[in-house]
Amino acid sequence: MPIESMSHRDMLFWIFLTLFGTGSYVIFDQRAFWGTALMVIGLIGMIICALPHIALWGIALMAAAGLVGISWVLICRKRRIRHDAEKAAKPSFEIIFDPKNPGHQFWSSKIDSSKNLGIEYRVQVWNKTDKTIHKVKATSERLGPMGALPTSLVFDLTEETTFTLDPNAKAFVRLFFVMTPIRQPGMLSGDSAEGYGPIKVTVSALNTPALEKLFTFNPFKEPMIF
């Protein structure tokens, strides 16, 4: 219908219909009150514009359909908020240590930068999300009576303390290095050697909740962490 041939009532009907549709987008944009208000105003306006042309049962049907539409949009918004909350509650990371040590990935003999022979332990950081996470970092902290301050861990692939993890990707970080022979004079022994731990590993990233995992540590057992 050309705009010149439209009556003012017809034009108002389309304006109110636009308000009704816009309200649904506003509701999904986290503005439920204003979105609902737009939809209600749009629905009332459309009913008033249609009064001279539609029988009473048609008006009632239009009103019912509009109310159903508003309710459906609000229900969908509530479901989306619940889904987003559940998704946010799930940790983005997982810290993995496999005591079976497949392929010597989690611990192995190594010579450090000072030419000392020893054993290096590593844990794996897994990005469990479908999004790339930037500036991932990991720290370790020895708790207990022989505790130590938190230390930034180095990623195996880059030799850096931060890393970008692609969706569902995994990366190793170096947890600690123990020189051999492990048993030295004056060291705790037996079960009391667990006083050197436990070790808390924390993984965090930009705009991502941190994840912590606690490992019992005993340098005289294999594996040393469990």
Q: Which residues pair with 98 in a beta bridge?
A: none
- The arithmetic mean of pLDDT across residues 202-224, rounded, is 91
- The arithmetic mean of pLDDT across residues 40-45, rounded, is 79
Query: What does the block give as tokens for 23?
Result: 């309200």
**pLDDT tens digits, one per residue of 108-154:** 999 988 888 999 999 999 999 999 999 999 999 988 777 788 999 99
Question: What does residue 198 show for φ and ψ, rounded to 5 degrees?
Answer: -75, 175
**What are the structural domains, with CATH classification, of the chain?**
3-89 (no CATH), 93-215 (2.60.40)
Rounded alpha-carbon distances, angstroms, from residue 160 to 65, 144, 220? 59, 28, 29
Cα dihedral: 82, 83, 86, 89 (round 10):
-100
* Separation CA 80–CA 24 (nearest Å): 14
* Separation CA 151–CA 88 (nearest Å): 27
**pLDDT tens digits, one per residue of 155-192:** 999 999 999 999 999 999 999 998 888 777 666 666 66
| pTM of the model as a whole | 0.64
Return the closest-CA partner of residue 128 out of 82, 162, 91, 173.
91
User: How high is the pLDDT of residue 1?
Assistant: 47
* Separation CA 120–CA 107 (nearest Å): 5
* Separation CA 203–CA 20 (nearest Å): 46
